[in-house]
Amino acid sequence: MNPALHDLLASARVVSLPLVTRFRGIDTREAVLFHGPNGWTEFSPFVEYEDAESASWLAAAIDFGWGTTPTPLRDRIHVNATLPAVGVSEVEAVLARFPGCRTVKVKVAEVGGLLADDVARVARVRELLGPDGRIRVDANGGWNVDEAETAIHAFAPYDLEYVEQPCASVEELAEIRVRVKYMGIPIAADESVRKAEDPLLVARAGAANILVLKAQPLGGVAAALNIVRDAGLPVVISSALDTSVGLSMGAFLAASVPELDFDCGLGTAALLAADVTDAPLVAVDGQIEVRRVDVSDELLDRHAASAERTAWWLARVERCHALLAG
């Protein structure tokens, strides 16, 4: 049963956390934390998302705080490092924040960026990882099919694990998958799952080899596990630049997936310059623990959002709660 709005708002704390480096065009990450019977939970859709999309994120927060959490199948999750679209000179310093990680996801196809810069970033990662490390690139749907094909050819010498969301539409993903199949480089789908009215369409269309799933956008751990079951494809569990509370939700999802063959994108607390807990969920020897996170009142106070931003977020919670109730 969904908690009443006043129960949500009674424990709500809105925070604004600085980032180590600019990511997704932002320098701070805002989130709302709630405390339910299960412990702390998080609501943090990006600010540009409309209420209809954001309501799924609230459903996930409610599920994690008030619902039934599956029994984990594992107590630690191997995670990848996440490299924003930084200059080559910054790559080593960013990766140093992910100790022991054997896999790096490199952001590419940023608006205004050049393919040559993306290739140089990937080349530097390969140099630092050595031949045994794993590299995946994430374009966030930034290329058309021809651009994607050109880019994948340019990255091929660096032995990619897969290319995540090279194009925006399911039809484009299906076409680029056919075009590069001979190269043996898998295609993964992220936005085509979490932003779709039908998250299984990409699997039915044969448009991807791998699905990237995030607990919050998909409505929570239970809803995401249904997609895992029905899609029948390998999955990577990832995050959306969550606080450690949100990462905990992702960790429980990853721990409940029957077969987890890939390192997961749940190490992004390393990109935060501040967190909400004294025991952040950061990688140790390339892994994070599967555990609930206790927040620090002192950190919640220190990083509390302004009164204006707090009011904006709480109004958003109220609208999304009404959508779920309706």
Sequential DSSP letters for 42-76: EE---TTS-HHHHHHHHHHHHHHHHSPPPPPS-SE
Give yes or no: 214 in active site.
yes
Written as one letter, the residue type at 318 is E
pLDDT at 52: 97
Enter the tokens of residue 44.
């943090």
Torsion of CA 31, 32, 34, 39, to 10 degrees: 0
Instruction: Tell me what pLDDT residue 26 has.
Output: 87
pTM of the model: 0.96
Letter for the amino acid at 324? Answer: L
Q: Which residues are annotated as a binding site for Mg(2+)?
A: 138, 164, 190
**Predicted local distance difference test score (pLDDT) of residue 184:** 96
Bridge partners (DSSP) of residue 19 are 272
Quick one: DSSP state of residue 3? P
- Tokens 């032995």 -> residue: 159
What Rg do the C-alpha atoms of the chain give, in angstroms? 19
pLDDT at site 1: 63
Cα separation, 113 vs 46, in Å, equals 22
The pLDDT tens digits for 257-295 are 999 999 999 999 999 999 999 999 999 999 999 999 999
Pick out the chain residues at pLDDT < 50: none
Instruction: For each of the domains in the chain, give its residue range(s) and CATH number, in order of start.
Output: 5-68+297-325 (3.30.390.10), 76-289 (3.20.20.120)
What are the φ and ψ backbone dihedral angles of 214, each rounded to 5 degrees?
-120, 135
Contact 281, 294 (CB under 8 A): no
In the block, which residue shows the tokens 């930034």?
Answer: 142
Count of CB atoms situated within 10 Å of the CB of 187: 25
Q: Give residue 51's pLDDT.
A: 98
105 catalytic residue (yes or no): no
Amino acid at 180: V
